[in-house]
Amino acid sequence: VFSKIFSHEALESYLPKIQLVIKDTLRAWSSNPEPINVYHEAQTLTFRMAIRVLLGFRIPDEELGRLFEVYQQFVENVFSLPMDLPFSGYRRGIRARETLQKGLEKAIQEKLQNTQGKDYADALDILIESGKEHGKELTMQELKDGTLELIFAAYATTASASTSLIMQLLKHPRVLEKLREELRSKGILHNGCICEGSLRLDNINGLHYLDCVIKEVLRLFTPISGGYRTVLQTFELDGFQIPKGWSVMYSIRDTHDTAPVFKDVDVFDPDRFGQGRSEDKDGRFHYLPFGGGVRTCLGKHLAKLFLKALAIELASTSRFELATRTFPRITLVPVLHPVDGLKVKFFGLDSNQNEILTGADALLGATV
């Protein structure tokens, strides 16, 4: 039922709306006179994308802000001890989940009643229709659970990867310039502007260097450490017997760090995925940012599409610089992110891609 949400046709439908959300967000970042906390803002961006694009909810900004605060409280307590005591993280998480589901039920009911003016099929539309095609009319509780799962899947890991992407483009300006060169060569970027109608799904999928950049971000800065599986039948691994019914965890980060196919594993090098090297092609499970096997992440194509759309906008319409003297330390839990969130200053641009001078810089006649 869920798989249809991430089909090629569905992604094509979401793309214009994703681009619009990203454009509006970068415009807001650039208009802020102060540096922004990229990780926090990326969380806000991915939450807005999930609510407005995937689910098609028409929630006012003020209400959306309140829902985001409640959602953050829910996420912060997901990994708490399951002890239902007053003031415990578990209790706070449960209460946040109940508040979220009330808000989601209201949004779902309004959506089901107001079908006019729709110009695309969002994920919730597809989910409902897919359920009917499989002979399963989804209940309101199933719709609320499915909606919450979609938001959760689109939120933390994508915000983590978005932050890592921006940090690497700051660290490696040559990579950013090479991205711009590819966009120009493909007719997407011309005179500092994205050509109208050029960002279709097939065009984006044809940007090979962009694909290499996203792959390298996900290799070196995998948002989550690993995944869990249940053993279906007893087997042996390196002389150890793993009994049926046990839970096992596979480590994505350790795999990426130790896989023999990757050279200089600590170096950010998108070209390792280029046609000349293709380091990810040797073996099935050396590169697995989205897991592997039949339980691989269903939303991986949507996540990569979002990151590519963000990278295109960053390379085409944005100027940004680190707002601190050094790059921040990285923490790995609950998902990989900079400890201080990564402080970055974005600059507004005029139609000729020149930074717009404001304040003292403009008065002093500063040149850019």
Known binding-site positions for heme: 297
Distances from the Cα of 272 to the Cαs of 62, 211, 215, 310, in angstroms? 45, 11, 10, 22
How far is the C-alpha of 107 from the C-alpha of 56, rounded, in Å?
A: 9
How far is the C-alpha of 52 from the C-alpha of 39, rounded, in Å?
A: 20
Helical (H) or strand (E) element with 274: none
Annotated binding site: 297
For residue 194, list its beta bridge partners.
189
SS3 164: helix
Residue 161, classified by CB atoms within 10 Å of its CB into exposed (0-12), middle (13-18) or buried (19+), is buried
CA atoms lying within 13 Å on the CB side of residue 164: 27
Question: What residue ranges in 308-361 does DSSP mark as E strands?
Answer: 319-322, 330-331, 337-338, 343-347
- Neighbour tally for 366: CB within 10 Å: 11
Q: Is beta strand 247-251 parallel, antiparallel or unpaired with respect to 240-242?
A: unpaired
